[in-house]
A and B are shown apart, each in its own frame.
With several copies, the nearest count.
Chain A
Amino acid sequence: MRRSPDQRDDDRLLREGARRFLEETCPWTPCPPDEAAQDAARREMAQLGWFGLGLPEALGGAGADALQALAIIEEAGRVLLRRSLAADVLVAPRLMRDVGGALASLAPGLAAGTVRFALVPENPGTGIGATRTGSGLRLDGRSALALDAGRATHWLVEAGGHSPNGAMLLCVEAHPAVVEMRRLIDGRTGAVLTFDGLALPAEAVLATGHEAVARMAEIRDCAVAALVADSYGALAAGLDLTVGYLNQRRQFGQTLGSFQAVQHLMADAFCDLETLRSLLLWTAAALDGEPAERRRAARTAKVTLGREGLAAASRLIQASGGIAMTEEYRVGHVYKRLQVAAGLHGGTEAQIRELATATLSPEGRPDDEASAA
C-alpha cells in the first residue's frame, strides 16, 4: 500500500500522459461529442493500456494499484469526459484479480477495449432478485441509475438486497431490451434496467451469500472513490479556469480577483477542494485495506463530496458571475457533474446516516484513532 500519489516517478508519468492525451483528444466542449468520436477516443485509451493497467500480471496487466487507476479517473474528470471509466479502469480489473473464474476470461477483451463494463446498483426501493432455475437463473426487478449501462457489453449487477440470504453478484451480458436510457444533467448518459424474468446462465454468478455482500460493498466503495476522483478533477480544473478568469475580468476598475470577498470565496472553495482530495487519498489507500476502514473512508469522502464539493462548485459559479450561468462555460458543467456524483450510489443524507451508524456505535471507531481512553 502506498500513501501518496507522488512517491514514484511512474505515477507522475502516468498522470501527465493521461492529462496530455485527454486534453488533446477529449478536450471539454459544451456539447458532448458524438458517439462515434467517444468510441474512437475509448479505443485509443485501450491502446494506451488504461484498461489493462489494473489487471494482475497473470492476466496480462500491469498490476497497478487504486491510486493509479484513480489518477486516470481524476484526469478524466478534469475534462469532464462524458464516459465513466470507473467500471473498466478500477472495478473490473480488481474483480478479475480477486474473483477470477469466468470473469477473468474477459480480461483480454477488457484490455483491448472490446469488453466494456457498467456497474448496475440495486435500487433499494424496488430491488433486484436473482432466483435459481433448472438451467441457470432468472433476474427480476429494477436497478438504480447505472452510468453508461446502455453502452456496456457487460453489466456487473447487484442482486438480493445486500443480505447474505439471496445476495448475488452477477456478470450479465448487456441486453438492450431491458435498458431505459437516461440523459443526465451533466451531459452523461445513464440507464435504468428493468429485469422481467431475464434468463441467465449459471456462470453469470460471480459471488453469493456473504461473499457477494462483501464484494458488493467493495464495488460500491470503489464506485464512490471513482466519483470522488472524478469530482475532484472536475473541481480542480474548474478552480484553475476560475482563477484565470478572475485575474483577467475587471469590474469597478479592478480585477475581480483583487476583491477580498472574491478572494475569500475562492479560498473557501480551495479548502473544500483540498479536503476532498485528502479524503480521496485516504479512500484510495483504504481500498486495499480492512473493509471497515474502507467503508468509512468511502462514506466520509462521499459525504464531503455532497457537502463541501457541491459548495465549492457553487462558489466557483458565484465568483465567476453571469458567465458561469451559461451552457457555453465550463464551470456550470462542473457544478452539474458534482450534482450527479452526489446523487449516485446513495445520496448525502443516506451516507451521513451510514457514517453515523459506523462511527457512533460503542465499538464504532477502531483503535487506530487513538481513542481508546
Chain B
Amino acid sequence: MDAFFTDDERAFRAEIRSAIRAMLPADLARKTRAGIHLSREDMARWNALLDANGWAAHHWPEEAGGPGWTPIQRFIFEAECAAADAPPLSVFGIYLVGPTLHAFGSHAQKARYLPPIRSGEEFWCQGYSEPEAGSDLASVRTTARRVEGGWVLNGQKAWTTEGHFADLMICLARTNREVKPQAGLSLFIVDMRAPGVVLTPVITIDGGHSVNTVFLDDVLVGDDALIGEVDQGWGYAKFLLNHERTNNAQVHRSRREFERLKAFAAAPRAGGSPVLDDPAFRRRFAVLEASLSGLEATVLRVLVDQTEGREPGPEASIVKVIGSRLQQAISELAMEVIGEDALELPEAARDEEVAGWTERHLFRRVVTIYAGANEIQKTIIARSTLGLR
C-alpha cells in the first residue's frame, strides 16, 4: 500500500527495516515462526533489545518514554517487526497497562511501574474476565473490601493470559454494590506473588498453556494499589478499547502469515508440484489477498485520520470483526495447503515452514471470541455506529 505513504514514511520504513533485521536474533525469529505461545524469556529478550533503541513502548506518548511516532510510523514499525518474525510484545504490559497507568495512574505508580514494562523486566497480566463475566464485564464479582491501609480482594479471574509468568496483574474488582453494575468497579494493581493469589493452568484446544485461572483469596493490597479514583474502574477499562481500536485487527501478523503461506504453497512438494499450481488454491489465495488488502486499507484509513488530527471515523469499529475472521481464514487455508502433515501434534518433528501452523490454527478459534466476541462487536456496530434501535 505504498500509495498511502509519504516519502518520509518510506524512508522511515527503510531505516526501521534494516534496524530490526540487524537486531533480531535468528533463534527468536525461528521460535516466533514455530508457535503461538512464547516464553517470558524470549519475549523479554526482544523487549529489551527494542528498548535499547527506545522502541519497546512505541505507541506510548513521548513523555512516558515512547519514541514520539505518528500512528502511521507505528503501523510501519509493527509491520516491519511482524515481517521479520519478531516476537510479539506482551499485550498486557506494553499495550494495556502502560497507557492506562500513564492516563490514570499516580505519579508514584508511573515512576514505579512504567520503566520495567518498557525494559521488559516486569510482565503483567489482565484480571478482567471471570467465569461469569466473559463478554459481559459489568458482571464482575471479584470484590475489593476497604481495610485499614488498603484493600482485600476476593474472587476468581478467568482466561488470564500469561498469568503464569506475570509479575503483576491489573485487576477489575467491585468496590461498591449499591450502584448500577458498571459504576461500582475499581482497578487495582496486584502482585502475583502476594499471599492468596493462586493460579491454575488452563490447557487450550491447541494443547498449549498460555491461559490460567487465578484465584484471589483474601489478597491484601495497599492504598497505592488503586489506580485512579475508586468506583471509576469501568471507565478506565473502556478507555483502552477506544484508544487501541486497530490493534485487535492483527493486520501485520495476518499479512506476515499470509506471505509465509504463499511462499510455502509456491514451493515444490515432496513428489508433487506446488500447491499454487492448482487454480482452486490460487483463487483462494487471491480472494484472501483482497480481504487482507481491504483490512490493511481500513486500518490505514483510521490511522491517517489520527495522523491528520481527526477522530477515527466509524470504520474503526469494524476492524476487530474483519481482522479476526481473516486470521481464521488464513489458518484454515494453511491447514488445507499443508494437508496431512497439519493433522499431527506439534511435537512431531516437522519442517520449519510447517511447524506452528496447526497450533496457531487451533488457538485462532479464540480470536472471534475474546476481546468482546464478534457477536457483541456487531451489536455495538449496529447500535452505536449505525444507530439501530
Please determine whether B2 and A321 come into contact, CB atoms closer than 8 angstroms: no
Q: How far is the CA of A185 from the CA of B347 in the complex (A)?
A: 10
Please determine whether A277 and B344 come into contact, CB atoms closer than 8 angstroms: no
Chain A interface size, as a band, is 35 or more
User: At the interface, yes or no: B298 with Cβ under 8 Å from chain A?
Assistant: yes
Can you name the residue of chain A whose Cβ is closest to the Cβ of B79?
Answer: A370
From A3, A274, A318, A343, contact of B340 by CB (8 A): A343
| Chain A neighbourhood of B373, CB < 8 A | 318, 321
User: At the interface, yes or no: A93 with Cβ under 8 Å from chain B?
Assistant: no
Interface size on B, residues (CB 8 A): 101
Please determine whether A3 and B4 come into contact, CB atoms closer than 8 angstroms: yes
Please give the distance in Å from A314's CB to the nearest CB on chain B.
Answer: 7
Please determine whether B388 and A352 come into contact, CB atoms closer than 8 angstroms: no
| Chain B neighbourhood of A322, CB < 8 A | 129, 134, 158-159, 366, 369-370
Please determine whether B290 and A355 come into contact, CB atoms closer than 8 angstroms: yes
Of B62-70, B201-209, B226-234, the one with at least 4 CB within 8 A of chain A: B201-209
Can you name the residue of chain B whose Cβ is closest to the Cβ of A276?
Answer: B294
| Chain A neighbourhood of B176, CB < 8 A | none
Q: How far is the CA of A190 from the CA of B385 in the complex (A)?
A: 37
User: At the interface, yes or no: B308 with Cβ under 8 Å from chain A?
Assistant: yes
Known: A185-B344, A275-B322, A347-B339. A327 touches B207 (CB 8 A): yes
Please determine whether A370 and B270 come into contact, CB atoms closer than 8 angstroms: no
Please determine whether A278 and B271 come into contact, CB atoms closer than 8 angstroms: no
Q: How far is the CA of A347 from the CA of B122 in the complex (A)?
A: 45
Q: How far is the CA of A219 from the CA of B369 in the complex (A)?
A: 40
Please determine whether B272 and A124 come into contact, CB atoms closer than 8 angstroms: yes
B295-353 residues with Cβ-Cβ distance < 8 A to A are 295, 297-298, 300-301, 304-305, 308, 310, 314-315, 318, 321-322, 328, 332, 335-336, 339-340, 342-345, 347-348
User: At the interface, yes or no: A297 with Cβ under 8 Å from chain B?
Assistant: yes
User: At the interface, yes or no: B287 with Cβ under 8 Å from chain A?
Assistant: yes
| Chain A neighbourhood of B129, CB < 8 A | 322
Q: Is the interface of B mostly helix, strand, loop or mixed?
A: helix
Of B111-119, B166-174, B238-246, B374-382, the one with at least 4 CB within 8 A of chain A: B374-382
Please determine whether B270 and A7 come into contact, CB atoms closer than 8 angstroms: no
Known: A126-B270, A258-B388, A343-B340. A264 touches B382 (CB 8 A): yes
User: At the interface, yes or no: A332 with Cβ under 8 Å from chain B?
Assistant: yes
User: At the interface, yes or no: A173 with Cβ under 8 Å from chain B?
Assistant: no
Known: A145-B340, A297-B3, A332-B205. A353 touches B297 (CB 8 A): no
Please determine whether A4 and B304 come into contact, CB atoms closer than 8 angstroms: yes
Please give the distance in Å from A84's CB to the nearest CB on chain B.
Answer: 13
User: At the interface, yes or no: A133 with Cβ under 8 Å from chain B?
Assistant: no
Which of A182, A250, A303, A349 lies at the interface centre, i.e. has the most chain B CB atoms within 10 A of its CB? A349
| Chain B neighbourhood of A13, CB < 8 A | none
Please determine whether B389 and A349 come into contact, CB atoms closer than 8 angstroms: no
| Chain B neighbourhood of A327, CB < 8 A | 203-205, 207
| Chain A neighbourhood of B314, CB < 8 A | 270, 274
Of B51-59, B82-90, B97-105, B146-154, the one with at least 4 CB within 8 A of chain A: B82-90
A119-152 residues with Cβ-Cβ distance < 8 A to B are 123-127, 144-145
Please determine whether A274 and B318 come into contact, CB atoms closer than 8 angstroms: yes
From B286, B289, B343, B374, contact of A184 by CB (8 A): B343
From B139, B207, B301, B343, contact of A340 by CB (8 A): B343
Please determine whether B344 and A184 come into contact, CB atoms closer than 8 angstroms: yes
Q: List 30 A-B contacts (CB under 8 A).
A: A123-B271, A185-B343, A255-B389, A257-B382, A261-B375, A261-B379, A262-B375, A264-B379, A265-B375, A270-B381, A271-B318, A275-B291, A279-B294, A293-B2, A300-B290, A314-B328, A314-B365, A325-B211, A327-B203, A332-B205, A335-B365, A347-B336, A352-B280, A352-B283, A355-B289, A356-B286, A370-B83, A370-B255, A371-B83, A373-B85
Using CB atoms and an 8 Å cutoff, list the residues of chain A in contact with chain B: 1, 3-4, 6-7, 123-127, 144-145, 182-185, 190, 239, 243, 246-247, 250-252, 255, 257-268, 270-271, 274-279, 281-282, 285-286, 288-290, 293-294, 296-297, 300, 303-304, 307-308, 310, 314, 317-318, 321-322, 324-328, 332, 335-336, 339-340, 343-344, 347-349, 352-353, 355-356, 359-360, 362, 364-366, 368-373
